[in-house]
């Protein structure tokens, strides 16, 4: 018999079927909400403090008040993981501006709705052999503040669905001229020789938490981090490439638009980075 999933909603842990949000919630009507996706490894939160820092930044950027203290949120997230008995997977945390009659102007005095739930590991587990992911390019249709982690994800939905329909695992988003921004739900990195190409942070991309942890590991392993923009054509002729995400860690890219990346095997840099990153984060699980 399948275990009933627990959902945290506004101060209570309840069964998933009983967790509901009002129709007039602004997150539902306007995507007036922010969220975080946190990896769970060994029953604990991966880079939990970094994720909560980013959540605070998103809340401040759109003027939604923090719904609870940092300590209370950590306690809640840990309890949710324990209640679901999750050893490895994903934890989703969502904060909306609150409920009001539908109007673009919100008045600024609403009480946020907060909910969270877990999901089991969908991809390859941390201790398994990495598996190639294939990417499909798609125009970057998102709004101009991609650095804020809002729930306005229609651009990513369209891109990732197009990739899936083409038989690929993930979208690679590009702007006019073929410049790469990032993946549909991941950060993307080509490796050329001993150089790691890294798009600079800015409004064009999300400041990935896993990215922030992988880059110092890459430098420690001997890669030269070259922070600049680059094109899809450059990415396709890279020696290796990989993606990073909260619960996918570091995964090798096998092809972009059907064009193989590298020699068809998991490259030495990606293999080293995955192992070194996992070893590093395991020393500071929350």
Tell me whether residue 149 is one of the annotated catalytic residues: yes
Measured CA to CA, the distance from residue 40 to residue 147 in angstroms comes to 23
Number of helices (H) and strands (E), helices first, in the chain? 7, 15
Hey, CA dihedral for 176, 182, 188, 194, is it positive or negative? positive
Q: Helices marked H in the chain — which ranges? A: 26-30, 48-62, 70-84, 154-165, 209-221, 232-236, 268-281
Distances from the Cα of 96 to the Cαs of 26, 35, 137, 143, 151, in angstroms? Answer: 7, 9, 31, 18, 9
Measured CA to CA, the distance from residue 82 to residue 196 in angstroms comes to 38
Measured CA to CA, the distance from residue 115 to residue 20 in angstroms comes to 10
Widest pairwise Cα distance in the chain: 57
Hey, CA dihedral for 225, 228, 229, 234, is it positive or negative? negative
Measured CA to CA, the distance from residue 196 to residue 186 in angstroms comes to 16
Catalytic residue among 3, 50, 149, 160: 149
Q: Which pairing describes strands 89-96 and 170-175: parallel, antiparallel, or unpaired? A: unpaired
Q: Which residues are catalytic?
A: 149
């Amino acid at each position: 018999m399948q275990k009933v999933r627990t959902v945290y909603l506004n101060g209570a842990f309840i069964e998933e079927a009983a967790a509901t949000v009002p129709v007039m919630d602004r997150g539902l009507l306007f995507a007036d909400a922010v969220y975080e996706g946190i990896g769970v490894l060994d029953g604990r939160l991966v880079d939990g403090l970094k994720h909560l820092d980013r959540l605070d930044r998103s809340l401040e950027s759109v003027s939604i008040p923090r719904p609870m203290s940092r300590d209370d949120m950590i306690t809640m997230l840990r309890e949710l993981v324990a209640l679901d008995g999750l050893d490895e997977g994903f934890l989703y945390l969502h904060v909306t501006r609150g409920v009001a009659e539908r109007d673009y102007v919100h008045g600024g005095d609403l009480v946020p709705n907060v909910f969270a739930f877990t999901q089991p590991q969908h991809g390859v587990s941390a201790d398994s052999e990495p598996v190639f992911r294939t990417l499909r390019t798609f125009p970057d249709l998102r709004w101009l503040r991609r650095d804020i982690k809002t729930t306005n994800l229609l651009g990513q939905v369209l891109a990732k669905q197009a990739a899936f329909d083409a038989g690929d695992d993930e979208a690679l988003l590009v702007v006019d001229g073929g410049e790469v921004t990032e993946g549909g739900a991941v950060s993307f990195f080509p490796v050329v020789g001993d150089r790691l190409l890294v798009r600079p942070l800015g409004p064009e991309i999300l400041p990935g938490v896993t990215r922030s942890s992988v880059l110092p590991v890459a430098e420690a392993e001997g890669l030269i981090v070259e922070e600049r923009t680059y094109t899809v054509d450059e990415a396709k002729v890279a020696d290796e490439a990989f993606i990073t995400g909260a619960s996918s860690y570091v995964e090798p890219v096998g092809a972009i638009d059907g064009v193989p990346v590298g020699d068809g095997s998991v490259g030495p840099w990606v293999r080293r980075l995955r192992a070194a990153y996992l070893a590093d984060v395991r020393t500071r699980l929350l």
